Structure 1
Amino acid sequence: MKLPVCRARSQSVSRSAARWLIPGTAILLSACHKPAPPLPSAHIHYEVGPAYNQDGVWRYPRQEFAWRESGLAVVDGDTSPHITADGEIYDPKAMTGSHPTLQLPVQVTVRNLDNGRQIEVRLNDRGPKQRGRLISLTPQAAAAIGMGRDPARVEVIENELPSRIFAETLPGGPLLDMKAAPVGTVQTEALDTAAMPQTASVDQPQAGSQQVQPASLPSLPVVYTQGWATPGSLWIEVGRFTQRSYAAIEASRAGGTVNYASDNNGPGWVVRVGPFSGVADADAALDHALALGLTGAHIVVE
């Protein structure tokens, strides 16, 4: 004898439950979903900023117009909408990037030493967050220079003219404040006004009169120039010293060598540890140098 199967009732119960569950689920989803707060308006300005501590290493932002350095570049880790350090709205499709200490914004040439590609980039933010990295690039800029997920060996050269234009025209730039200029003691004497030449009145320049608040900065083209690949080895540069005796002391602590160098950073005795063929080995050596208190240590390519 077969027992009756109540399929219709079961189906009815399932549909009835669904009618209760679906609206409830929608209510729960709507309660959990909160729209992201709107971004503040762009307020593009010139930025140097105070010293700050990043992952145990102190950074000292400074203004430079003849800067040149080699190191490792990475792709931006945070591509969500946010305001950059110089007040721009971050755009992952723009040819921009970040640097820990240069004034912002600044225009640079980035050359991928592994494949010879060269691009123009505007640095407009602080970063990268990972120690031992020279710059980070947007996904667009990284693709243009032929970068993958791994750090790329690069040389970065500042372009002085556009960088100076940013400094002189953006709000917050280092313009001379005319009203704050020192005034010495002046003695006056009455003159014969008939003998004086007639002059027209001239408006005095006002501080910041050349600085304009732009809505945005011109976009750099998404193009690259193909050059020669010049891959080099990774080194840890511990520091640069004016006297060889001081350099020898630091070299002894770090287990490095001392060499004389004269480049855009000026003449001096340079202490380096290496070379290292891989990024992991260079990172480990950098961590060791920082643990010894050699806070100026950083990765370079040569």
Structure 2
Amino acid sequence: MMICWRPSPRSRVLVPFSRTLLGVMGGVFLLGGCAQTQLLVHATKKLQTKEIRPEGVYKVGKPYEVNGVWYYPRVNYEYNETGIASWYGPNFHGKPTANGEYFDMNEVTAAHKTLPLPSKARVTNLENGRSIIVRINDRGPFVNGRILDASRKSAQLLGFEKKGTAKVQVKILADESRMMASKASPSQVSQGAVKEIKVAAAPQEVVTSEALPPPPGTMSDALPEDRGVTITAHSAGDAAVPPAQAEVTPKQPEETEITYATVKPTQIYIQAGAFANLKNAYKLQDRLAAIGQAQISQTWVESRPFYRVRFGPLESVKKADDLLDSIINAGYKDARLILVE
């Protein structure tokens, strides 16, 4: 143990010059040693108190319910969707994510409702063309009409931090996500995580041919001749064709690198349902008349016509949110916000 000696003013006496010099030199040595000791102790304390972050686990998860809505996590390396993204930050900073990591709002991450954790995805802002790669390590957002919750850093890179929301395309990076799954050690894998869950994902189109009983006195079984249906060109349909991929550079950049994609203008619609039977589309249109005037448009899925009941285009995310909440609260929980070019 090194003792740090400091002479007391009360102990001063007259001594020969040589002894005084030796004493001064010894004091300097001891004081220097004290400074080094204090520096070492301070550094040791910093090392001991440095936060050790958990690695988290690889997980897919079981179906779960939030606010009356069911979500079905699954392995889906073909995931490619457009919709509205939001961001989260200070209120969750430092708290555990759904796979056991700590959320850091200053890292390039995001939350998704169903993709495996962790996964990697390319997120493109369809309003300004900015495109980045994010690490999906959390669940959410549990708000109607949202497909992604970005960290504050991700929102900054994509250019919508101040605005709060943005129209985005989210496309999983299959090879990178497979590699993340394969690298997970047995201790890092939650039970049943790597095995694909045999549960169908939430449908892209709410398709049914079951008859819906109309409210008494509102309509007859015969189709009115003057009711219009918008007919689209024969195609595979929205449910069969993924959203158009953004044109980006082939090189895979680092997460913090921003690339720019060619994007097209999109409009916001609320889709309340889609049916194989036109009568059922009319019935739903009548039931929603108190909320607003919905249009019926026709599309094709595997050479079969389907009829979609939609509201729009809507001029803002706020108006779309309000309308979507009204439709869901009326009992139509499969209604969703969509982007249409």
1:124 aligns with 2:158: no
Match of 2:47 in 1: none
SS at 2:333's partner residue?
coil
The DSSP-based 3-state class of the residue aligned with 2:297 is strand
Aligned counterparts of 2:62 and 2:52: Cα–Cα separation in 1 = 22
Give the CA deviation at 1:82: 1.5
Tell me by how many angstroms 1:122 deviates: 1.6
1:294 positional shift? 1.1
Structure 2 counterpart of 1:228: 262
Matches within 5 A, 1:96-107: 96-107=109-120
Where in structure 2 are the equivalents of 1:211-222 lying within 5 Å?
220-222=254-256
Q: Equivalent residue for 2:88?
A: 76
Calculate percent identity across the aligned residue pairs. 30
Superposition deviation, residue 242 in structure 1: 4.7
Deviation at 1:237, TM superposition (A): 2.2
In structure 2, C-alpha distance between the alignment counterparts of 1:251 and 1:62, rounded to whole Å: 33
Structure 1, unmatched stretches of 5+, are: 1-37, 177-218
| Code of the aligned partner of 2:320 | A
Where does 1:22-41 land on structure 2 (aligned, <5 Å)?
41=54
Check if 1:62 corresponds to 2:74.
Answer: yes
1:157 aligns with 2:204: no
**Does 1:174 pair with 2:194?**
yes
8 Å contact from structure 2 (residues 123, 171) kept in 1:
yes
The 5 A counterparts of 1:278-293 are 278-293=316-331
Q: CA separation of 1:146/1:241 partners in 2, compared to 1, >3 Å: closer, same or farther?
A: same
In structure 2, how many angstroms separate the alpha carbons of the residues matched to 1:80 and 1:51?
24
The normalised TM-score by structure 2 is 0.57
Partner of 2:60: 47
Q: 2:156 is paired with a residue of what secondary structure?
A: helix
Q: Shift of the alpha carbon at 1:243?
A: 4.7
The Cα shift of 1:87 comes to 2.2
Structure 2 CA distance for partners of 1:162 and 1:267, relative to 1, 3 Å = farther
Q: Deviations over 1:133-160 (max 9, x none)?
A: 2111111111111113321111111222
Conserved 8 A contact 1:70-1:154: yes
Task: Kindly provide the amino acid, as one letter, of the partner of residue 173 in structure 2.
Answer: N
Q: Which stretch shows the higher mean deviation, 248-257 or 99-108? A: 248-257
Whole-angstrom distance in 2 between the partners of 1:239 and 1:110 = 27
Deviations 1:16-54 (CA, angstroms, capped at 9, x unpaired): xxxxxxxxxxxxxxxxxxxxxx88833322222331123
Cα deviation, residue 81, structure 1? 0.2
Q: Which residue of 2 aligns with 1:33?
A: none
Please tell me whether the aligned partners of residues 134 and 255 of structure 2 are also in contact (alpha carbons under 8 angstroms). no
- Point out the more displaced range, 220-229 or 64-73: 220-229
Cα gap change, 1:60/1:246 in structure 2, threshold over 3 Å: closer, same or farther? farther
Do 1:168 and 1:175's aligned partners in 2 also have CA atoms closer than 8 Å?
A: no
Q: How many residues align?
A: 221
Are the structure 2 counterparts of residues 288 and 162 from structure 1 closer, same or farther at C-alpha, using a change threshold of 3 Å? same
Q: Which residue in 2 is equivalent to 1:237?
A: 271
Deviation of residue 58 (structure 1)? 3.0
Q: Which of residues 270, 274, 282 in structure 1 aligns to 2:312?
A: 274
Per the alignment, do residues 224 and 85 of structure 1 end up closer, same or farther by CA in structure 2, a change over 3 Å counting?
same
State the partner residue of 2:155.
142
- Partners in 1 of 2:74 and 2:300 — Cα distance? 21
Quick one: which amino acid aligns to residue 259 of structure 1? S
- The AA in structure 2 aligned to 1:153 is K
Taking the aligned partners of 1:257 and 1:157, their CA distance within structure 2 comes to 29
* Structure-2 change in CA distance of 1:50 and 1:274 (3 Å): same
Deviations 1:170-219 (A, max 9, x none): 3243349xxxxxxxxxxxxxxxxxxxxxxxxxxxxxxxxxxxxxxxxxx9
Instruction: Let me know the Cα RMSD of the aligned residues.
Output: 2.9
- CA 1:143–1:262 in structure 2 vs 1: closer, same or farther (change >3 Å)? farther
Q: Distance in 2 between matches of 1:228 and 1:68?
A: 16
- Matched AA of 1:253: R
What TM-score do you get using the length of structure 1 for normalisation? Answer: 0.64
Q: Secondary structure at the match of 1:154?
A: strand
